[in-house]
Amino acid sequence: EMQRSLVGSEMCIRDRYRRIKMKKVLTYGTFDLLHPGHIYLLKEAKKLGDELIVGVSTDEFNSIKHKTSFLPYEYRKEMVKSIKYVDEVIPETNWDQKVEDIKRLGIDVLVMGDDWKGSDKFEYLKQFCDVVFLPKMEGLSSTKFRGHVEEYVKLMEEDE
């Protein structure tokens, strides 16, 4: 009798755990010179679960992405880590680590900005977890924003 009740209680604990399992969200990016568009994405991504993990592209991977960043990986990692919506930061070193990350970390949802929607680099991941492409924050165009940064840099130089 004892044996059966033990098995029963273990079953219901496992069932309860399954229901309350922390929902884990994952996203990737360079996150150079953080701006409101990045923060908006991370805030919306966190709303989709209980824990948000961010894969920050290393400097080496940035060159594979043909992307240069002002800030080196260590700074970008620390800055992303300091955002209240972010629970953990891992390095993103290649295009192909996502399936391994999803399995190792027990990811439920992968989130990216919708500039990645339809990309073959993400569609195939739908067999491993939910894949959500979030619309970019309204009103912040990166080119306009870049213009403001260039003006700001000029102002800084005039001060020197």
- Residues annotated as catalytic (active site), given as ranges: 65, 67
Question: Taking CB under 6 A as the rule, does residue 30 contact ligand C2G?
Answer: yes
In whole angstroms, what is the distance from residue 140 CA to residue 36 CA?
A: 8
**Residues 37, 43, 87, 88: which binds ligand C2G (CB under 6 A)?**
37
Question: Taking CB under 6 A as the rule, does residue 47 contact ligand C2G?
Answer: no
| Candidate ranges 10-18, 34-42, 77-85, 101-109; the one touching ligand C2G (CB under 6 A) | 34-42
CB-count exposure of residue 155 (10 Å: 0-12, 13-18, 19+): exposed
Question: Taking CB under 6 A as the rule, does residue 108 contact ligand C2G?
Answer: no
Question: From residue 21, how far is each of 50, 51, 76, 107, 160 by CA, in Å?
Answer: 9, 11, 30, 11, 54
Q: What order do you get walking across the sheet with 88-92 strand by strand? A: 88-92, 51-57, 24-29, 109-113, 130-134
In whole angstroms, what is the distance from residue 78 CA to residue 24 CA?
A: 21
| Candidate ranges 4-12, 18-26, 111-119, 123-131; the one touching ligand C2G (CB under 6 A) | 111-119
**Residues 48, 49, 52, 57: which binds ligand C2G (CB under 6 A)?**
57
Question: Taking CB under 6 A as the rule, does residue 28 contact ligand C2G?
Answer: yes
Across 78-126, the runs of DSSP E, i.e. the strands, are 88-92, 109-113
Identify which of residues 57 and 89 has a Cβ nearer to ligand C2G in the complex.
Answer: 57
Question: Taking CB under 6 A as the rule, does residue 77 contact ligand C2G?
Answer: no
Question: Which residue's structure tokens are 């080119």?
Answer: 143
Minimum CB distance to ligand C2G, residue 131 (Å): 12
Identify which of residues 92 and 108 has a Cβ nearer to ligand C2G in the complex.
Answer: 92
Minimum CB distance to ligand C2G, residue 94 (Å): 9
Tokens of 14: 């496992």
